[in-house]
């Protein structure tokens, strides 16, 4: 059984769902992980993927679990598995994503929060702030939620930021275009 072929099959199915493919899968798996162990067994993996219409047989699910079993428990490590599902990105893409994250993470603690954003962006010009419908805090929080996983805890890690941009990256043909887009969007 070829685990790499299985992962390729899953990756292709994720990418066919657009930019939210891997991010959506990450959200879904974190929801499946009911005991918050950050791992899934073969049965949970197989049932979860079937719910999404992604079909693996028992042997494939067990092979995937074995590959990302970090501690010999027979379960797959969720973060490692999701990292493997992300479409491979060049060093140039990884570097510009890390640079954008570092710009946002003003405190340097590896997590972006509304407080970090406050120092980088202003939400005062947002139409809903101007109309009085939202506060500037709400604008920044909603902005942050775009990159956050399903928990929407107001904290975005580099892994969550990478999950988001792996989907975007898959739809941009060249490194030059991707780097230019990121540089412009984040004023790097």
Tell which wins on pLDDT, 176 or 35. 176
Is pLDDT at 104 greater than 60 in this prediction?
A: yes
> Residue 157, Cα to own-chain centre: how many angstroms?
9
Phi–psi pair at 149, nearest 5 degrees: -80, -170
Mean pLDDT to the nearest integer, 45-57: 82
Q: Report how far residue 81's alpha carbon sits from residue 159's, in angstroms, rounded to the nearest whole number.
A: 12
Q: Is the pTM of this model over 0.75?
A: no
Q: Report how far residue 43's alpha carbon sits from residue 174's, in angstroms, rounded to the nearest whole number.
A: 38
CATH superfamily name and code, 91-186: EF-hand (1.10.238.10)
Q: Report how far residue 24's alpha carbon sits from residue 162's, in angstroms, rounded to the nearest whole number.
A: 13
Tell which wins on pLDDT, 125 or 30. 125
- Residue 112 is inside which H or E element, if any? strand 111-112
The gap between the terminal CA atoms of the chain, to the nearest Å, is: 44
Tell me if 3-85 shares its fold with 91-186.
yes
Give domain limits for the chain. Answer: 3-85, 91-186
41: nearest Cα among 60, 23, 61, 59: 61
Which CATH code fits 3-85? 1.10.238.10
């Amino acid at each position: 059984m070829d685990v790499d072929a299985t992962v390729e099959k899953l990756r292709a199915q994720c990418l066919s769902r657009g930019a939210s493919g891997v991010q959506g899968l990450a959200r879904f798996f974190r929801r499946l992980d009911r005991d918050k162990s950050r791992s899934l067994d073969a049965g949970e993996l197989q049932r979860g993927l079937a719910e999404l219409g992604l079909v693996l047989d028992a042997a494939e699910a067990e092979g995937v679990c074995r590959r990302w079993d970090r501690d010999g428990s027979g379960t797959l490590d969720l973060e490692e598995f999701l990292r493997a599902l992300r479409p491979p990105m060049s060093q140039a893409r990884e570097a510009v994503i890390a640079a954008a994250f570092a710009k946002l993470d003003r405190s340097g603690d590896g997590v972006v929060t509304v407080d970090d954003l406050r120092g980088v962006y202003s939400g005062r010009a947002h139409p809903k702030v101007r109309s009085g419908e939202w506060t500037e805090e709400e604008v920044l929080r909603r902005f942050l939620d775009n990159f956050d996983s399903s928990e929407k805890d107001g904290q975005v890690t580099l892994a969550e930021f990478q999950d988001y941009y792996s989907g975007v990256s898959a739809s941009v043909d060249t490194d030059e275009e991707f780097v230019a887009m990121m540089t412009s969007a984040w004023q790097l």
